[in-house]
A = this chain, B = another copy of it.
Amino acid sequence: MHDLLLRHITRQVSLSAPEQDAVRTRFQARNLKKREFLLQAGDVCRTEHFVVQGCLRAYAIDTEGKEHIIQFAVEEWWIGDMRSFVREVPAEFFIEAMENCTLLVIDKPGLEQLFREAPAFERFYRIIVQNAFIALQQRVLAKLSQTAEERYLEFIGRYPNIEQRVPQHQIAAYLGMTPEFLSRIRRQWSGR
């Protein structure tokens, strides 16, 4: 269970034996059933989450009632509401399990203590936030410069197996197009 997390961390930084123990101690396992919510918009997000098994989505609902997916997370991804977690303000995202999930969870006091116990972990955490930032910049750029079709093709190239785990209309909600339009794009593309 924690082994996956430790392997994930040690791909970026090396952890001493006591640091590894600290990680094991501070992260708690948690299971979620399909359709269960890890977070509801309006609540404060008090924990950070590492996905050991399963698939989740984080989404916001706009003033017209439409869902917009900000992130999917599968094995070895992190998911949460960074804004709510950092600033301790009400979350704007819902986070929902799309399959039965196993997570490793840490709360904010635990995380801050872990930063002190394991400086290498604070470095690791900085690195994953940097990587998340880089990925988001790519996404902003994609939305600024690419058509719906280009974004879809890039998406399935980047996440080759996610189409088997996530319904099409949620991929549309991630890419910023209607499910109808995504359907049309796919028809065009299957005709080749």
Contacts and interface: CB of A to CB of B under 8 A. Distances in A.
Contact of A141 (B70, B115, B130, B132): B70
A126 B131 CA distance: 12
A145 B115 contact: no
A136 B142 CA distance: 13
A184 interface: no
B132 A122 contact: no
A86 interface: yes
Contacts of A123: 115, 122
A176 B92 CA distance: 23
Identify whether the interface residues of A are mostly helix, strand, loop, or mixed: helix
A133 interface: yes
A1 to B, nearest CB: 26
Interface residues of A, number: 33
Interface stretch (A2-10, A24-32, A60-68, A163-171): A60-68
Nearest to A134: B83
Contacts of A119: 119
A82 B130 contact: yes
Most B CB contacts (10 A, CB to CB) among A66, A126, A133, A137 go to A137
B126 A136 contact: no
A65 to B, nearest CB: 11
Contact of A86 (B66, B68, B130, B136): B130
Contact of A140 (B82, B92, B126, B136): B136
28 contacts: A60-B141, A62-B145, A62-B146, A63-B145, A68-B141, A68-B144, A68-B145, A70-B141, A82-B133, A82-B134, A83-B134, A86-B130, A86-B134, A115-B123, A119-B119, A122-B122, A122-B126, A125-B126, A126-B126, A126-B129, A129-B129, A129-B133, A133-B133, A136-B136, A136-B140, A140-B140, A143-B144, A143-B176
